[in-house]
């Protein structure tokens, strides 16, 4: 939609060139294009994506995003909770813990990625956690986008302590997010500065 608006501005600029407003339209168009680029950088996949072959996999519709690292899906005729492997986002719905800083942002990010989407699942060594939730790597079916990894790359969550299939890749993404002060790493930097 924003790109379409930029195209309309360009069209009007060409027709209004004689009236002396070409520069104003060109400035507006450049502003919109810069805005579109910044939106794409924020919401499109990062370099952290991983190639997987899903040609024989089943897709599972996302029923609900519970929080940043937990979703509900339709799985073999029932609704199942899925905990994303390898990433831990700040709490927003824990029954005994308060909402943690940056938790709502992580939940919103996962919701933006998965609302109305279907997903592919890849399982680790353990299929369920102590709460009965399925444990899985989650890939958005429309473009095979690796959700678990992206949460780490964008600073919406930190890596979990146990080893798993993608530990090294997750660690590289977290190191980069910390260096770039993305997401919760900027929050933690502010907290550290305030405590000194």
Catalytic machinery residues = 83, 91, 133
Beta-bridge partners for 60: 119
Contacts of 91 (CB under 8 A, 6+ apart): 67, 97, 98, 99, 100, 103
How far apart CA 149 and CA 86 sit, in angstroms, is 8
What is residue 48's three-state secondary structure?
coil
What is residue 101's three-state secondary structure?
coil
H helices of the chain, where? 2-15, 22-43, 103-114, 147-153, 167-180, 184-195
Phi, psi of 26 (to 5 degrees): -65, -40
Tell me which residue of 79, 76, 52 sits closest to 147, measured CA to CA.
52
Contacts of 55 (CB under 8 A, 6+ apart): none
What's the gap between Cα 50 and its chain centre? 14
Please say whether the dihedral angle defined by the alpha carbons of residues 167, 54, 79 and 43, taken in this order, is positive or negative. Answer: positive
């Amino acid at each position: 939609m924003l790109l379409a608006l930029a195209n309309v501005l360009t069209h009007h600029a060409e027709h209004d060139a004689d009236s002396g407003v070409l520069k104003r339209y060109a400035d507006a168009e450049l502003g919109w294009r810069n805005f579109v680029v910044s939106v794409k950088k924020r919401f499109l996949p990062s370099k952290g994506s991983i190639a997987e072959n899903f040609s024989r996999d089943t897709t599972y519709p996302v029923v609900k995003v519970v929080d940043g690292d937990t979703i509900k899906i339709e799985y073999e005729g029932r609704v199942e909770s899925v905990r994303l492997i390898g990433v831990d986002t700040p709490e927003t719905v824990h029954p005994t813990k308060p909402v943690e800083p940056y938790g709502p942002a992580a939940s919103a990010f996962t919701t933006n990625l998965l609302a109305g989407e279907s997903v592919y699942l890849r399982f680790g060594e353990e299929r369920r956690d102590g709460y009965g939730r399925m444990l899985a790597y989650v890939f958005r079916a429309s473009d095979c986008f690796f959700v678990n990894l992206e949460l780490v790359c964008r600073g919406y969550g930190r890596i979990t302590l146990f080893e798993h299939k993608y530990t090294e890749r997750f660690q590289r993404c977290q190191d980069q997010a910390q260096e770039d002060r993305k997401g919760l790493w900027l929050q933690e930097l502010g907290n550290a500065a305030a405590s000194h």
